[in-house]
Amino acid sequence: MKTLARFLTLCWHALNAARRVVSNVLFLALVAAVLVMVYEASPDRLDDRTVLVLNLRGNLVEQHAPSMGSLAWSGLMKKPSEGDVQMRDVVRALDTAADDTKISAVLLLEDDLGTSGLAVEHEIATAMDHFKKTGKPIIAWGSGFEQRQYLLAAHASKIYLDPMGQVFLEGFGQYRNYFRDALDKLGITVHLMKVGTYKSFAEPYIANGPSPAAQEADKTLYDALWKDYMSDVETARHLPAGSLQATIDSLPQQLDAAGGDPAKLALSLKWVDGLKTRDDLRKLMIEKGAWDSAHEGFRQISLEDYLDRQQQQNAGPAIAVIVAEGEIQDGEAGAGSISGITTAKLIRKACEDSQVKAVVFRVNSPGGSAFASEEIRRELELTREKGKPVVVSMGNLAASGGYWVTMGANDVIADPDTVTGSIGVFALFPTAERLMDRLGIHSGGVTTTWLSDARNPLRPMDPRFQSLVQTDVNHIYHEFITRAASARNTSPDKIDSVAQGRVWTGTQAKTRGLVDHLGQFHDAVRSAAGLAHLDSTYHLKYFDPPSPGWEYWLDLFDNSLLRTNPSLNPLRSIGQWLGLAAPAPASYWFQMVERHDPFVVMTHCLCVSP
The residue type at 552 = Y
User: Taking the domains of the chain in order of start, what are their residue ranges?
Assistant: 50-172+220-308, 318-604
pLDDT in the model for residue 600: 54
Q: Which residues contact 316 (CB under 8 A, 6 or more apart)?
A: 355, 537, 538, 539
Is residue 8 classed exposed, middle or buried when 0-12, 13-18 and 19+ CB atoms within 10 A define those classes?
exposed
Exposure pattern of 260-274 as b/e (b: 16+ CB <10 Å)? eebbbbbbebebbbe
d(C-alpha 254, C-alpha 248), whole Å? 9
The answer to whether the 50-172+220-308 and 318-604 domains have the same CATH topology is yes
CA angle 354, 357, 362 (to 5 degrees): 115
Residue 400 to residue 424: CA distance in whole angstroms: 6
Distance CA 66, CA 334 (A): 8
Asked if residues 290 and 112 have their Cβ atoms less than 8 Å apart, the reply is no
Note the CATH architecture for domain 50-172+220-308.
Alpha-Beta Complex (3.90)
Domain covering 318-604: architecture: Alpha-Beta Complex (3.90)
Residue 199's pLDDT is what?
A: 86
pLDDT at residue 571, as a whole number: 38
pLDDT for the residue numbered 529: 97
The Cα angle at residue 243 between residues 242 and 247, in degrees rounded to 5: 125
> Which pLDDT belongs to residue 34?
58
Q: What are the distances in angstroms from CA 234 to CA 99, 239, 243?
A: 28, 5, 8
Q: Which residues are catalytic?
A: 199, 400
pLDDT profile of the chain (610 residues), mean per 10: 70 73 73 58 76 95 68 43 82 97 97 94 98 98 97 98 97 92 93 89 90 94 96 98 97 96 98 97 93 86 93 87 93 84 96 97 93 95 97 96 95 97 90 92 92 91 93 93 96 96 96 97 97 93 76 47 40 35 37 43 64
Would you say 511 and 220 are in contact if contact means Cβ atoms under 8 Å apart? no
Residue 110 and residue 162 in contact, taking contact as beta carbons nearer than 8 Å: no
- The C-alpha atoms of residue 96 and residue 66 are separated, in whole angstroms, by 27
Nearest to 346 by CA among 549, 544, 65: 544
Asked if 88 and 61 touch (Cβ cutoff 8 Å), the reply is no
Residues 233 and 122: beta-carbon distance below 8 Å: no
Query: d(Cα 302, Cα 55) in Å, to the nearest integer?
Result: 8
Q: Cα–Cα distance between 503 and 199 in angstroms, integer?
A: 9
pLDDT, position 415? 97
